[in-house]
A and B are shown apart, each in its own frame.
Chain A
Amino acid sequence: MSSLLTRGLPSAGLYAGPMAWLVSTQANYALAAWSCSYQFPVIPLLAAVLAAVSLAGGVSSWRAYRQPLPADTTTVPAPDGSQVATLDGPEGGRPHRMIAAIGVLVALLFAVVIAVHGVAGLVFTGCER
């Protein structure tokens, strides 16, 4: 577990971002009426938490991107003159590095989407029809 935290998980952003967004979409939709009744800004607060969850996944993917698993160098077929060197670290890392890069970017994108959900909660009270 501790190595997961320090070395990161390539696909973490890929899981965390969309999951946080899924919770944001469903919970916000359900909380719209509640927000109106109690006049409490639950939606921006929830969005802040969920955006943080998404970004945490992105950080884990970033760590994995920077420190590819040692096993990658042995499990991936040998170098071959591939032109996709931008994702190949000098120590190897294919194909997990690509997943890690996608994890970082997906986490960022979904954090933005969740943040925009939160902004809607600052504009509307939930009572408008």
Chain B
Amino acid sequence: MSDGASATGDLRDTSLDGPTLNVRLSRVWGTPRGLLGALTTVDHKIIGRRYIVTAFLFLFLGGITALVMRLQLAQPESGLVGPDTYNQLFTMHGSTMMFLFGVPIGEAMAVYLVPLMVGTRNIAFPRLNAFSYWVYLSGGLFLWISFLLNIGPDVGWFAYVPLSGPEYSPGKRADVWAQMITFTELSGLAVAIEIIVTVLKQRAPGMTLDRVPLFVWALFVNSFIIIFALPAVMIASTFLILDRLVGTHLFNPAEGGDALLYQHLFWFFGHPEVYIIFLPGTAFVSAIIPTFARREIFGYLALVLSLIATGFLSFGLWVHHMFVTGLPQLGAAFFTASSMLIAIPNGLQIFCWIATLWDGRPVWRTPLLFVAGFFFIFVAGGLSGIMLASVPIDTQVHDTYFVVAHFHYVLIGGNVFPLLGAIYYWFPKFTGRLLSERLGRWNFWLAFIGFNVAFFPMHISGLMGMPRRVYTYGPEMGWGDLQLLSTAGALLLFASFVLFVWNVAASLRRGDVAGPNPWNAGTLEWATASPPPPHNFNRIPLVTHREPLWAERGGLPVVTGLSVSHRELMVSSVAEAEPQLRETSPAPSIWPLVAAIAVGATFIGSIFTPYAVLWGALPVAAALTGWFWPKAMPEDEE
């Protein structure tokens, strides 16, 4: 990179130093104060924080629906809620957890952390990032406001036809579900593209592919899964709306359609979805373990291999959700094979993490406790998963509480436990303060015990024949004691989350002040202040090691030459991360919000009339025209 000022009089970071450089860059990259600033920001940290908080709000809402269901099932023939409300509750619970929490939370953490970890100043396509958040928020509000207006969907989180079709679900409930999918998947796709481009083209010099943090690898692979999986469910939900609103018969066998096509489309998304939820969990675990084991990760190559193999194989398992639909046994056998063999890369990961801890000097702080909880719960869920990959067992326990137990072990074990560990780990980076360790330990043990008391008995309930999604049962079934136990566990689990919120609220005000690197971790996000300044780094670090902060104890070498007069970041090559271009990064803009409002109005209108798509195209086109209107931006330079 060139030194000093360019021919255009552009001031470079080579001409400034220390606080002057920091102040100057903060002014250039900062978000304006006030409401307008809040609505126009394109700072990945602000948007990432909003994503995280919003996803946690939806987690709590989904948790409350679960708690109401558990209270209803605590005893036979309970009258706490009726069947109609119960149908809405389990649909809201599943849809919220899968679409408004499960997918977005991994992306939310990525939006905040990936640019910091790869040593860049902002995410790629920052305005698209802002747009994606507004669309996600609109989709979530749309679903929950519909529920409060008693038009919440009641067809289950996978909304099978013909139940969700026009014949069996009149009214707007199924449409609300289907269009919420469009909102959230659009948002998810946008973030996935941003993450991929950020990882491939914005890594700091020296961060060759074999020095990319495993956290980043996991979310990079995850983004590819999102890009290939999410369109399938968007097509399914759009076809469903067309059947319901326009009168097509895509899923109506009586008119030449195919009901099973819906299941194929849904589960071609639905099974990768499990890995979309799990891979961010592996990202958190791979970041937490080396820090607290005090050694580099064991088997970096094997872990990257596992991520890539899991990413591919996740697309070859979907039919194991359809084993009871009358498929040829030979066809089912292929999916049994892939379902069982995906245990190889996943098992490999577990062994690498255990080996890292085995060979390290583990410090058992709260983040590592949650990782230990993840090991126990996720492995148990994986074992019941291997059982369910077998056609005869799956046929016996299909749609019973055994399956409910299995997927909660996998999803809560594979995502929520690592996530809570991740929040304890990165909270100092987000806020500048540490969470209370004492409350953290209480939080972990309450969550761990509560979870197992709630969900382990469900295996037995399922084996005793209790079907899922029943709003009540008779005392003669003999499920009452186990259901009561599950409810007690759910209350404990809920209490652990109340404690978590208390810890966050108290620590925000009175927590110990964290320095830039309170855990003595090795990756780049810990090289900057806590919380980071708007520009992330005063100068872009030069990466010389996979754990740069451990290798360069005396201070990171840096790259100079970027502008301090306007938002400029460095574009690098894909494999070797060699500097290629200096590129201008977009400034704050209101257009992403305007575009999101226009898109949202179009989506919502289109569940009432197909002409909404036509009329909605006008404001959407106007917003996009404003967004992309040519501006006087400096040209990219080599």
B53 in contact (CB, < 8 A): no
- Contact partner of B333 among A83, A96, A124, CB < 8 A? A124
Q: Which residues of B contact A17 (CB under 8 A)?
A: 312
For chain B residues 435-490, which have a beta carbon within 8 Å of chain A? none
**Interchain CB contact under 8 A, B341 and A128:** no
B36 in contact (CB, < 8 A): no
A113 to B578, CA, bound (A): 37
A33 to B546, CA, bound (A): 51
Q: What is the size category of the interface that chain B forms with chain A?
A: 35 or more
A101 in contact (CB, < 8 A): yes
Q: Which residues of A contact B545 (CB under 8 A)?
A: 80-83
B608 in contact (CB, < 8 A): no
A27: shortest Cβ distance to chain B, in Å? Answer: 10
A83: shortest Cβ distance to chain B, in Å? Answer: 6
Considering the complex, give the chain B residue whose CB is closest to the CB of A10.
Answer: B575
Q: Which residues of A contact B205 (CB under 8 A)?
A: 77
| Known A-B contacts A75-B576, A117-B334; A82 and B305 likewise in contact (beta carbons under 8 Å) | no
**Interchain CB contact under 8 A, B546 and A102:** no
By secondary structure, the B interface counts as: helix
Considering the complex, give the chain B residue whose CB is closest to the CB of A33.
Answer: B328
A84 in contact (CB, < 8 A): yes
A89 to B313, CA, bound (A): 31
B344 in contact (CB, < 8 A): yes
**Interchain CB contact under 8 A, B544 and A21:** no
**Interchain CB contact under 8 A, B329 and A96:** no
**Interchain CB contact under 8 A, B304 and A98:** yes
| Known A-B contacts A81-B544, A128-B328; A102 and B301 likewise in contact (beta carbons under 8 Å) | yes
**Interchain CB contact under 8 A, B206 and A77:** yes
B502: shortest Cβ distance to chain A, in Å? Answer: 41
Q: Which residues of A contact B336 (CB under 8 A)?
A: 120
- Chain B 101-113 interface mask (CB, 8 Å, partner A; 1/0): 0000000000000
B345 in contact (CB, < 8 A): yes
A128: shortest Cβ distance to chain B, in Å? Answer: 4
Q: Which residues of A contact B578 (CB under 8 A)?
A: 75, 77
A44: shortest Cβ distance to chain B, in Å? Answer: 11
**Interchain CB contact under 8 A, A76 and B300:** no
B118: shortest Cβ distance to chain A, in Å? Answer: 14
Q: Which residues of A contact B542 (CB under 8 A)?
A: 77
**Interchain CB contact under 8 A, B328 and A126:** yes
**Interchain CB contact under 8 A, A28 and B308:** no
| Known A-B contacts A102-B308, A109-B345; A116 and B330 likewise in contact (beta carbons under 8 Å) | no
A105 in contact (CB, < 8 A): yes
**Interchain CB contact under 8 A, B309 and A95:** no
For chain B residues 535-592, which have a beta carbon within 8 Å of chain A? 542, 544-546, 551, 575-576, 578
B326 in contact (CB, < 8 A): yes
| Known A-B contacts A84-B546, A102-B304, A106-B308; A113 and B338 likewise in contact (beta carbons under 8 Å) | yes
Q: Which residues of A contact B319 (CB under 8 A)?
A: 29
- Contact partner of A124 among B301, B304, B329, B575, CB < 8 A? B329
- Chain A 67-99 interface mask (CB, 8 Å, partner B; 1/0): 000000001110011111001000000111111
Considering the complex, give the chain A residue whose CB is closest to the CB of B296.
Answer: A83
Q: Which residues of B contact A105 (CB under 8 A)?
A: 305
For chain B residues 335-350, which have a beta carbon within 8 Å of chain A? 336-338, 341, 344-345
| Known A-B contacts A82-B544, A83-B545; A98 and B209 likewise in contact (beta carbons under 8 Å) | yes
Q: Which residues of B contact A35 (CB under 8 A)?
A: 330
A36 to B330, CA, bound (A): 10
Considering the complex, give the chain A residue whose CB is closest to the CB of B545.
Answer: A82
A96 to B366, CA, bound (A): 37
A56 to B461, CA, bound (A): 49
Q: Which residues of A contact B551 (CB under 8 A)?
A: 80-83
B169 in contact (CB, < 8 A): no
**Interchain CB contact under 8 A, B544 and A128:** no
- Contact partner of B309 among A22, A33, A109, A120, CB < 8 A? A109
B10 in contact (CB, < 8 A): no
A93: shortest Cβ distance to chain B, in Å? Answer: 10
A123 in contact (CB, < 8 A): yes
Considering the complex, give the chain B residue whose CB is closest to the CB of A97.
Answer: B210
Q: Which residues of A contact B333 (CB under 8 A)?
A: 117, 120, 123-124
B518 in contact (CB, < 8 A): no
A128 to B330, CA, bound (A): 7
B19 in contact (CB, < 8 A): no
- Contact partner of A120 among B208, B301, B334, CB < 8 A? B334
| Known A-B contacts A95-B575, A124-B330; A84 and B210 likewise in contact (beta carbons under 8 Å) | yes
**Interchain CB contact under 8 A, A21 and B330:** no
A52 in contact (CB, < 8 A): no
Interface pairs (14), CB distance under 8 Å: A29-B334, A32-B328, A36-B328, A77-B208, A77-B544, A80-B544, A81-B544, A95-B209, A95-B210, A97-B210, A99-B575, A113-B341, A121-B330, A126-B328
Known: A28-B331, A94-B210. 4 other contacts (CB 8 A): A32-B331, A80-B544, A95-B575, A123-B333
